[in-house]
Amino acid sequence: MSSEELLRLTGVARTVELPDGDDLHILTSVDLLVRRGDHVGIVGRSGTGKSTLLNLLGLLDRPTGGTLEWAGRNVTDISGRQAARIRGRDVGFVFQQFNLLPGRTALENVMAPLLYASGKEFWQRRRIAAAMLDQVGLGDRLDAMPQFLSGGEQQRIAIARALVRRPTVVLADEPTGALDVETGAMVMKLLDQATYESGAALITITHDQNVAALARRRFRLAEGRLHPLAEEAAV
């Protein structure tokens, strides 16, 4: 199971055109292999292109070079519709700013991804979402409005929302960036454990070494490339 290939990046590049006409090479050649159930940590200083990489991994954006494969299928140039399909079914996002939907209760936020599912997942969305919130320890805050909850609680809602469709990969972009150290550690532990229990791969992007330390495989992003960190290099 854990040897099954999920994501493969080969020489992935992302170049954007700046308003003045110059090209900015954010990513030059990224190679990465993620298998089912992997926990990968990527560290990098601010502005090195971590979010850009995460957007590519989650099919929110397309590479300008190299190839990106999802479970053996080349998805470098798939249509927006197909990308949306894969995102809905296989990807869960956790963002730095939580990105909860304003004006919706905790339960409605966790139910939101199920609105893009069909069949049983859609019709039983309330039950499924409530169970998920219970799993992150918020079973008693179903009808709470996110803006009245603490940062840690909000991020737990976001984690529940990311996992509610049982994705094969969870992408977390600075999940502790807006939290104090203690809360951050707690949230990271929850994210690590919840993804582990659901069998999903977890890719965490962060500028915080301590957060990355939780991951089994670690990389550093610099100069548009991924560099394996000590243990990874040893493997």
Partner 1 sequence: MRAAAARVATGLAASTVEAWQELRIHKLRVLLSLVGVAVAVASITATVAAGQIAKQMFTESYETEGRPAHISISAYDDRNGMPLSVERVRPAFQTVAERFGVTYASARISAFDIKATTAGSSKRVELMGVDPAYAAIHRVVVPQGRWLEESDKESLSPALVVDETFLKKLGLQGTPLPTSVDLRGQGMSVTATIVGVTSMRGYGTPRAFMLADSLVHWQTGAPTDAGYEMWVPVEGADELAGEINAAMRAELPGLQVDAYRDDYMAWGGEDPIGPIKWVIIGIAGIILLLGALSLLNIALVTIQQRIREIGIRRSFGATTGRVFFSVMMESVVATVVAGLVGVLLAVAAVKNPLVEKYVLQGIDDVPPFPLSAAFLGLAVALAVGALAGILPAMIAARVKIIDAIRF
Ligand X SMILES: Nc1ncnc2c1ncn2[C@@H]1O[C@H](COP(=O)(O)OP(=O)(O)O)[C@@H](O)[C@H]1O
Q: Which residues bind partner 1 (CB under 8 A)?
A: 51, 55, 58, 60-61, 80-81, 84-89, 91, 93, 95-97, 99, 101-104, 108, 112-113, 115-119, 122-123, 173-174
By beta-carbon proximity to ligand X, the closer residue of 111 and 179 is: 179
φ/ψ of 121, rounded to 5, equals: -55, -40
Binding span for ligand X by CB under 6 A among 48-56, 85-93, 128-136, 151-159: 48-56
Region of 40 (left: φ > 0; alpha: ψ -120 to 50; beta: rest) is: beta
| DSSP bridge partners of 222 | 225
- 104, interface contact from ligand X, Mg ion, partner 1, none, CB < 5-8 Å by kind: partner 1
Element housing 220 (H / E): strand 217-222
Helices then strands (H, E): number in the chain?
Answer: 9, 10
218: which residues sit within 8 A by CB, 6+ positions away?
40, 41, 42, 43, 212, 228, 229, 230, 231, 232
Distance CA 92, CA 163 (A): 6
Instruction: Report the residue from 37, 41, 44, 63 that binds ligand X according to the rule CB under 6 A.
Output: 44
Instruction: Report the residue from 52, 96, 168, 206 that binds ligand X according to the rule CB under 6 A.
Output: 52
Taking Cα atoms as reference points, which of 197, 186, 224 lies closest to residue 50?
224
By beta-carbon proximity to ligand X, the closer residue of 88 and 177 is: 177
Instruction: Report the residue from 4, 5, 23, 24 that binds ligand X according to the rule CB under 6 A.
Output: 24
46 near ligand X, judged by CB under 6 A: yes
49 near ligand X, judged by CB under 6 A: yes
Distance CA 90, CA 58 (A): 9
- Structure tokens given for 130: 């409530």
CB neighbours of residue 19 within 10 Å: 5
1-20 binders of ligand X (CB under 6 A)? 16, 18
Distance CA 56, CA 122 (A): 27
Distance CA 235, CA 232 (A): 5
- 118, interface contact from ligand X, partner 1, Mg ion, none, CB < 5-8 Å by kind: partner 1
By beta-carbon proximity to ligand X, the closer residue of 24 and 101 is: 24
Binding span for Mg ion by CB under 5 A among 46-54, 70-78, 149-157, 160-168: 46-54
By beta-carbon proximity to partner 1, the closer residue of 76 and 99 is: 99
- 58, interface contact from ligand X, Mg ion, partner 1, none, CB < 5-8 Å by kind: partner 1
**List of residues contacting Mg ion (CB under 5 A):** 51
Applying CB under 6 A, which residues contact ligand X?
Answer: 16, 18, 24, 26, 44, 46-52
